[in-house]
Amino acid sequence: MEIPMIVIELEWRFLTIAPCDAAEPWQLGSQDAATPIMQGIIDLHHDIFFFLILILVFVSRMLVRALWHFHEKTNPIPLRIVHGTTIEIIRTIFPSIIPMFIAIPSFALLYSMDEVVVDPAITIKAIGHQWYRFGGRRASTQPYEYSDYNSSDEQSLTFDSYTIPEDDPELGQSRLLEVDNRVVVPAKTHLRMIVTPADVLHSWAVPSSGVKCDAVPGRSNQTSILVQREGVYYGQCSEIRGTNHAFTPIVVEAVPLKDYGSQVSNQLILQTN
Amino acid sequence: MAEIELKTAPADFRFPTTNQTRHCFTRYIEFHKCVNAKGDDSGECEKFAKYYRSLCPGEWIEKWNEQRENGNFPGPL
Amino acid sequence: MIESQRHSYHLVDPSPWPISGSLGALATTVGGVMYMHSFQGGATLLSLGLIFILYTMFVWWRDVLRESTLEGHHTKAVQLGPRYGSILFIVSEVMFLFAFFWASSHSSLAPTVEIGGIWPPKGIGVLDPWEIPFLNTPILPSSGAAVTWAHHAILAGKEKRAVYALVATVSLALVSTGFQGMEYYQAPSTISDSIYGSTFFLATGFHGFHVIIGTLFLIICGIRQYLGHLTKEHHVGFEAAAWYWHFVDVVRLFPFVSIYWWGGI
C-alpha cells in the first residue's frame, strides 16, 4: 500500500529528530539553532508571538461583539455617544506599553549580537565574488581566507567555494545548496567572520547560526559566531545582487577542535610545498 | 606537523562596531610605523603583521603594498 | 484698479510667456544632451534655448512690473503670495546648502581608509583660512548691514539715499565675489582632487553662486529704486531680495568655520 503524502509529511514534520540545518520543503518555522544568537532569535519570536495572540484574540472579540450588538436589527436606534474619557485613556496607554515589553528583549538580543564578549580564537574572511572564470564555466563563489597562520603577505590559506552545478549533484545533495569546498570551522570556539565583497553587494547568511552579514564594497564587516554543535549548516547569499545571485550557496561545516587543527595544518603543508 | 596555535587579532576597544575597515587599516599602519621606528628584524612588530593579516582581505593588503612601493600610499606612515 | 472688480485678487490676463519659457526649456535640455553627445548643432540649440529662457524671464518680469506699477493689481492680498513664496524658497535653499555641509562633515569627521583615514588627505594643498577666506568673511555681513540701511531709507521715504545704500550693498557683494574668484584662481587644488576637492568646491562654489544670484537681485532692486518703483508702503521685491541677502551672508559663516578653518587643520 502506498503511504499517503500527508502522512510522510506529518511524520517528517513532527517525528524527525535530526536538527534542521538547511531549508526544506514546506518549512514553516526557523531552522534549528546552532548558536546562542539563533536560540535568542527563536526565543524572541516566541515572546513576541505571546503578545500577538493576546492582541489578536482581544481585537477579534471586540470586532465580533461590535458587529453583533450594533446590527440594525438588534439595535435599531443608534445612541449619540461621541466620546468616553476612560476608554480613550486605556486604548492609548495599553498600545504604548505593549511595544515596550516587546522592545526590552528585542534590544537585549540586538546588542548582544554586536558584542564581542571574548577574544575570538579564529578569524575567517568571506569575500563575495559575483563573476569568476573557473574551468571554462562562469560561476559565483564565496572565497574564504584563513590568514591567522600566515608568515607573509603573499602566503595565505585561501580557497574558493563554488556551487555544485544543477546537473551533477550526487545522491543526497541539495540542489544549488551544496558547494565543492565547505568552510570548516571548529565547534564550541569563538569565531570572528570578516565579510567583504570583491565586486558588488553580497550578504553572507547562515540561518542556523543566526548570522546575516552584509558585504559592502570597500568596507569589512565583523560578526561573531559560536557554533555549539558539530554539523553542516547551509545558507545562501542574501543580498539580491543580479547575475548569479541564486548560485552562491554557503556551507559551514563545524568539526571538533582537534579535527580543525589537523585539517588546517594539512592544508598549510599542501600550500607550502 | 605540529599542532597549530589558535590565535588571532584580539578584540580592540577602539573598534567596537560591526564595521572593522578601520581596525584592519590601523593595524597595517601600526605595523609599518613599528618597522620604520624599530627596524625590520626587531621582532616586536611581527604581532601587528599577524593582526592585519588576520583582519584585512588579501586584496586590500596587495593594493596597499603596491601603493607603498609606488609612493602613493595615502595613510600616515 | 478696474471699477467693477469686487475682490482684491489679481486675475491674470492671457500671456504667451509660459509656453515660450517651456519651449526654451525644451530646447535647452535637448540641446544640452545633443551638445554633450557631440551632435551637430547641439551647441547652437543649447545657446538658442538659453537665450530664449533669458528673454522670457526678462519680458515676463517686465509684464509683472507693469501690472504692479501701471495697472495697480498688486493689492495687499496679492503681495502675500510672493512673500510666502520667497520664504519657502529660502527655506528650500537652506536645505540645499545643508546637504553640502553634511557631505563635507561626513567625509571629514571620519575620513575613509581610501584617503588614508586623514583629513585633509595626503598631498592636498589647503588654503590658509586666515588669508583671503578670513578677509572675505566680514564683507558679506557688512553688505547685509548696508541692505538694512537701504530698507530703512525706503521706509523713511528717502529715495535717493536708498539708491546710495543699494550701491554700497552691491559694491561690497562684488568685492566679495572678486575675492572668491581670486581665491579659486590661486587655489592649490581642484574639484577633481579627491573627496576634499569635491566637497570644498561644491560647498563654497554653490555659496558663491548664491552670492551672484543675490547680487543680481539687488542690482535689479537698485534700478527699480532709481526708477521710483519702490514706495514706502509697497516694496515686496526689495524685501525678498533683502531676506535672500541675509540668508546668503549668514550662510557664509558656516563654510568659513567648518570647511576653511576646521577642515583645513
What domains can you pick out in chain B, each with its CATH number? 21-70 (1.10.10.140)
Are residues C51 and C63 both part of a single domain? yes
Residue A160, burial from CB neighbour count under 10 angstroms (0-12, 13-18, 19+): middle
**A219-250: b or e for each residue (b if 16 or more CB lie within 10 Å)?**
bbbbbbbbbeeebebbbbbbbebeebbebbbb
Does the structure show a pLDDT above 90 at A247? no
Are residues C41 and C125 both part of a single domain? no
Instruction: Catalogue the long-range contacts made by A241-246 (C-beta closer than 8 Å, 24 or more residues apart).
Output: A241/A130, A241/A200, A241/A201, A241/A202, A242/A130, A242/A200, A243/A130, A243/A131, A244/A130, A244/A131, A244/A138, A244/A139, A244/A140, A245/A140, A246/A176
Please, which chains are in contact with A (at least 3 CB pairs closer than 8 A)? B, C
Does the structure show a pLDDT above 80 at B4? no
ipTM of the complex: 0.87
CB within 8 Å of chain A, chain B residues 34-73? 50, 53-59, 61-62, 65
Instruction: Give residue A69's identity as a one-letter amino acid code.
Output: H
Does the structure show a pLDDT above 70 at B12? yes
**C239-250: b or e for each residue (b if 16 or more CB lie within 10 Å)?**
bbbbbbbbbbbe
Are residues C87 and C40 both part of a single domain? no
Cβ of B74 within 8 Å of Cβ of C118? The answer is yes
Q: Residue C245's closest CA among C208, C217, C209, C221?
A: C217
pTM: 0.80
Sequence-separated (6 or more) residues with CB below 8 Å from residue A137: A165
CA distances from A250 to A30, A125, A222, A227, C42 (A): 17, 13, 17, 15, 53
All three cell numbers of A72, joined, read 440594525
DSSP A18: S
Min Cα distance B33 → chain C (Å) is 14
Distance from the Cα of residue B26 to its chain's centroid: 7
Distance CA C167, CA C219 (A): 8
Contact status of B14 with chain A (Cβ, < 8 Å): no
| Last residue within a domain, chosen from C23, C55, C73 | C73
For residue A222, give the chain B residue with the closest CA.
Answer: B18
Are residues C139 and C244 both part of a single domain? yes
| Last residue within a domain, chosen from C73, C104, C126 | C73
Task: Residue C19: give the domain boundaries.
Answer: 1-73
Are residues C82 and C108 both part of a single domain? yes
CB within 8 Å of chain C, chain A residues 218-257? 218
Mean pLDDT of A101-117: 88
**Among all chains, which residue has been given the C-alpha cell 536560540?**
A39
Question: C115: phi > 0 → left, psi -120 to 50 → alpha, else beta; which?
Answer: alpha
**Residue C175 sits in a domain of what CATH number?**
1.20.120.80
Distance CA A170, CA A167 (A): 9
Better pLDDT: A169 or C210: C210
CA distances from C124 to B72, C32, C193, C195 (A): 13, 33, 7, 10
Are residues C34 and C100 both part of a single domain? no
β-pairing, A231-236 vs A249-255, is: antiparallel
**Among all chains, which residue has been given the C-alpha cell 595615502?**
B74
Residues of C in contact with B76 (CB under 8 A): 116-118, 122
Are residues C120 and C150 both part of a single domain? yes
Are residues C160 and C205 both part of a single domain? yes
**Residue C43 sits in a domain of what CATH number?**
1.10.287.70
Question: C246: phi > 0 → left, psi -120 to 50 → alpha, else beta; which?
Answer: alpha
Contact status of A223 with chain B (Cβ, < 8 Å): yes
Are residues C86 and C183 both part of a single domain? yes
Peptide bond just before C120 cis, omega within 30 deg: yes
Residue A166, burial from CB neighbour count under 10 angstroms (0-12, 13-18, 19+): exposed
Are residues C41 and C54 both part of a single domain? yes
Q: How many domains does chain C have?
A: 2
Distance CA C26, CA C45 (A): 10
All three cell numbers of A194, joined, read 570578516
Quick one: pLDDT band at residue B3, thresholds 50, 70, 90?
low
**B1-22: b or e for each residue (b if 16 or more CB lie within 10 Å)?**
eeeeebbbbebbeebeebebbb
Probe site for chain A from B1, B7, B8 (most A CB atoms < 10 A): B8
Are residues C126 and C53 both part of a single domain? no
Better pLDDT: A146 or B52: B52
Residue C156, burial from CB neighbour count under 10 angstroms (0-12, 13-18, 19+): exposed
Instruction: Give residue A220's identity as a one-letter amino acid code.
Output: S
Contact status of B57 with chain C (Cβ, < 8 Å): no
Distance CA A195, CA A125 (A): 6
CA distances from C259 to A199, C255, C262, C265 (A): 33, 5, 6, 10
Cβ of B19 within 8 Å of Cβ of A220? The answer is yes
Average pLDDT, chain B: 87
Distance CA C156, CA A18 (A): 92
Distance CA A184, CA A167 (A): 25
* DSSP-H helix ranges across chain A: 5-14, 36-69, 85-114, 257-272
Distance CA A211, CA B70 (A): 40
Per-residue pLDDT of chain C (265 residues; tens, 9 = 90+): 456 778 899 999 999 999 999 999 999 999 999 999 999 999 999 999 999 999 999 999 999 999 999 998 999 999 999 999 999 999 999 999 999 999 999 999 999 999 999 999 988 888 889 988 999 889 999 999 999 999 999 999 999 999 999 999 999 999 999 999 999 999 999 999 999 999 999 999 999 999 999 999 999 999 999 999 999 999 999 999 999 999 999 999 988 998 999 888 7
Quick one: pLDDT band at residue A237, thresholds 50, 70, 90?
confident
Are residues C172 and C250 both part of a single domain? yes
| Last residue within a domain, chosen from C29, C48, C73 | C73
